[in-house]
């Protein structure tokens, strides 16, 4: 049927004897009465266009171009089988001929009516009908295309490999839904839908091709979105810097003070966004090799802005709070910006801005732990400024001391929550740096002051874990790692290794990974059952280093991995699947 349908287009005998004929395959109308089959219109058309594109004498109009014209003309509910609509659409997409059709029935057999139009005259050149089992729909379609190209054997180097091979109707429906989601602009939903189709029917080449095209489109879209967000964020950061420089804090009314705090908060978030490209993508976000100077400069700027933020925050509260029934309140907690910057704030996705009554704690948390959390994002960098500058470590603890005093001075119903926030962070920061007894003392202070607190069991378990007797065996092993290392207790060392590695990465940066492995290897390689344990932790260390951007350590440990019985195949797999950015660059020909 399709051969007869297209025969008038292919009457030329010699290759290249006339220009290619431009053909548009329109959507097939669904006249079955089952609206769930509407999306078959697009799927069937896409498959026909794809397979007929293999015929060199034809130029097929892409389905996406057809869809763009349909959207522009608002013809979504039109009858494409109608001659007037077919001629109009065909001319709009620049075709000479148009093929349209309709699904007339699905049960017990599928019937498709077909027409072909000469768009210059509007005449119907050919009409036809095809009937078959609905579960054979795509086999029939492929057979017709195959007959068509076989009839052109003298003009083609060989039969094309059909891309639209799909196993069943359900798969086609799923595929059609996927491309319909693309047309609606729902790209992420379309990705999920087409990924499911490819997973179910891995030999469905057209679905695989469309899925790969969509992934490339999403990647390009994300890159473009990132560029736009970066530009908006840059403009917002400059505006915040200018406002803070040109608007002194002295003499501002409440509204002006809230705006200044808003711009200070934006400045802090802007600096963190500037920081993130210099950090690894895995937790903890370790400073990348070679980026130390840039990060230190940004951290010092953030530190300066953070201290100013705390001071201005306190001053705002002192000037504008009111006391109602013995409790201090602010009439407004919302931080505002100038109108043009409010829009930038939304576009750059900085999240909402609000007055922080725990500003000293949040600033101390970043200085001491590298953690920063907003309504829109959170991350943890390492090593912190406090680990690079002892004076900042002292300043961070001073902020917590002041925050604890403020917590004790607040109204009774708020004291427990605020004291816990300060003392838990205080203990965590001490524990991170190996000061176990001091950390335990801070946590115990909370338990002593609030013995009926709901958090009592949680804080109590933190103390037990720090002493190696907590409920979590892996955490216990982590806190006891150095004891296990001293005696080369390999099972205990293996259990605590990752915990201790994470702690050292947070305080020392990427160089800690290689140093920690070499320490264990040098001290305990001769111990009983050490080979298996050391090889296992070597893999953990090498991957941690690679994820932190330290590819040199990954490669420097590779020979030792082979010495310990590891295979080259495993090594290649780790590189390819876990740290592909550490793969050696391909050799270039001279």
Check whether residue 303 and residue 368 sit in a common domain: yes
Check whether residue 461 and residue 337 sit in a common domain: no
Say if pTM beats, i.e. exceeds, 0.85.
Answer: no
Q: What are phi and psi of 149, to 5 degrees?
A: -70, -30
Nearest to 348 by CA among 446, 287, 425, 266: 266
What CATH number did the domain enclosing 149 receive? 3.40.50.10610
- Reading the block at residue 33, the tokens are 């009465």
Q: Which residues are CB-neighbours of 169 under 8 A, at least 6 positions away?
A: 134, 135, 137, 138
pLDDT at 76: 60
154 located within any domain? yes
Distance in angstroms (rounded) separating the CA atoms of residues 239 and 278: 23
First vs last C-alpha separation in the chain: 56
Distance in angstroms (rounded) separating the CA atoms of residues 200 and 43: 17
Among candidate residues 114, 136, 165, the one where a domain is terminated: 165
Q: Which residues are CB-neighbours of 570 under 8 A, at least 6 positions away?
A: none
Check whether residue 110 and residue 67 sit in a common domain: yes
Among candidate residues 454, 471, 488, the one where a domain is terminated: 471
Check whether residue 566 and residue 446 sit in a common domain: no
Check whether residue 374 and residue 520 sit in a common domain: no
Check whether residue 338 and residue 453 sit in a common domain: no
Residue 322: beta bridge partners?
A: 329
588 located within any domain? no
Extended beta strands in 296-387, E state: 322-324, 327-329, 371-373, 378-382
Q: Which domain holds residue 531?
A: 496-582
56 HSE (CA, 13 A, CB side): 15
Check whether residue 269 and residue 345 sit in a common domain: yes
Check whether residue 378 and residue 392 sit in a common domain: yes
Check whether residue 29 and residue 152 sit in a common domain: yes
What does pLDDT average to in each consecutive run of 10 residues of the chain (590 residues)?
52 54 84 82 82 77 84 70 77 84 77 79 75 73 59 45 67 88 89 90 86 85 67 92 93 95 95 92 88 96 97 95 86 92 90 92 96 79 94 97 93 91 97 95 96 95 93 86 92 90 91 92 89 91 87 92 91 90 65
Check whether residue 49 and residue 131 sit in a common domain: yes
In the three-class reduction of DSSP (H, G, I as helix; E, B as strand; rest coil), residue 280 is classed as coil
297 located within any domain? yes
Check whether residue 374 and residue 503 sit in a common domain: no
| Number of independent structural domains in the chain | 4
190 located within any domain? no
Name the strand (E) or helix (H) holding 124: strand 123-132
224 located within any domain? no
Check whether residue 78 and residue 156 sit in a common domain: yes
Name the strand (E) or helix (H) holding 252: none
pLDDT at 13: 44
pLDDT at 291: 94
| Cβ pair 179, 197 in contact under 8 A | no
pLDDT at 229: 66
Nearest to 418 by CA among 460, 356, 457, 361: 361
């Amino acid at each position: 049927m399709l051969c007869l349908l297209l025969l008038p287009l292919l009457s030329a005998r010699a290759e290249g004897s006339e220009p290619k004929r431009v053909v548009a395959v329109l959507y097939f109308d669904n006249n079955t009465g089952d609206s769930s089959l509407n999306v078959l219109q697009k799927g069937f058309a896409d498959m026909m266009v794809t397979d007929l594109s293999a015929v060199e004498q034809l130029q097929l109009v892409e389905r996406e171009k057809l869809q763009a014209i349909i959207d522009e003309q608002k013809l979504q509910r039109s009858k494409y089988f109608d001659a007037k609509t077919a001629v109009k659409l065909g001319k709009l997409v620049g075709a000479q001929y148009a093929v349209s059709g309709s699904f007339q029935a699905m049960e017990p057999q599928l019937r498709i009516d077909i027409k072909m139009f000469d768009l210059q005259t509007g005449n119907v050149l050919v009409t036809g009908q095809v009937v078959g089992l609905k579960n054979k729909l795509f086999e029939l379609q492929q057979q017709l295309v195959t007959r068509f190209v076989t009839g052109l054997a003298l003009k083609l180097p060989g039969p094309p490999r059909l891309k639209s091979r799909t196993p069943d109707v359900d798969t086609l429906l799923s595929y059609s839904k996927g491309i319909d989601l693309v047309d609606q602009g729902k790209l992420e939903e379309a990705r999920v839908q087409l990924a499911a189709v490819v997973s179910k029917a891995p030999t469905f080449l057209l679905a695989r091709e469309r899925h790969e095209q969509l992934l490339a489109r999403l990647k390009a879209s994300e890159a473009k979105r990132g560029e736009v967000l970066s530009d908006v964020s840059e403009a917002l950061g400059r505006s915040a810097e200018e406002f803070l420089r040109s608007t002194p804090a002295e003499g501002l009314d409440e509204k002006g003070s809230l705006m200044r705090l808003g711009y200070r908060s934006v400045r802090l978030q802007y600096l963190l966004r500037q920081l993130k490209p210099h950090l690894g993508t895995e937790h903890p976000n370790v400073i990348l090799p070679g980026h130390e100077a840039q990060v230190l400069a940004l951290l010092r700027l953030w530190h300066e802005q953070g201290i100013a933020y705390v001071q201005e925050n306190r001053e705002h509260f002192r000037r504008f709070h009111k006391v109602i029934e013995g409790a201090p309140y602010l009439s407004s907690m919302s931080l505002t910006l100038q109108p043009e910057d409010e829009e930038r704030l939304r576009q750059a996705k900085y999240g909402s801005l609000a007055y922080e009554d725990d500003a000293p704690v949040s600033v101390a948390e970043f200085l001491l732990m590298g953690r920063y959390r907003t309504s829109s994002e959170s991350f943890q960098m390492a090593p912190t400024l406090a680990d690079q500058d002892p004076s900042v470590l002292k300043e961070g603890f001073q902020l917590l001391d002041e925050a604890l005093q403020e917590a004790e001075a607040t109204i009774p119903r708020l004291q427990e929550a605020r004291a816990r926030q300060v003392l838990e962070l205080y203990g965590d920061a001490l524990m991170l740096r190996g000061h176990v007894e001091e950390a335990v003392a801070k946590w115990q202070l909370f338990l002593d002051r609030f013995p009926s607190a709901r958090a009592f069991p949680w804080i109590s378990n933190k103390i037990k874990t720090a002493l190696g007797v907590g409920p979590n065996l892996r955490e216990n092993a982590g806190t006891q790692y150095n004891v296990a290392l001293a005696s080369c207790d390999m099972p205990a060392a293996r259990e605590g290794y990752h915990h201790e590695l994470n702690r050292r990465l947070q305080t020392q940066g990427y160089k800690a990974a290689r140093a920690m492995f070499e320490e264990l290897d040098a001290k305990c390689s001769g111990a009983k059952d050490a080979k298996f344990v050391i090889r296992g932790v070597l893999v953990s260390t090498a991957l941690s280093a690679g994820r932190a951007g330290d590819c040199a350590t990954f490669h420097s440990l590779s020979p030792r991995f082979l010495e310990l019985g590891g295979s080259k195949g495993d090594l290649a797999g780790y590189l390819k699947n876990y740290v592909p950015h550490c793969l050696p660059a391909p050799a270039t020909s001279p």
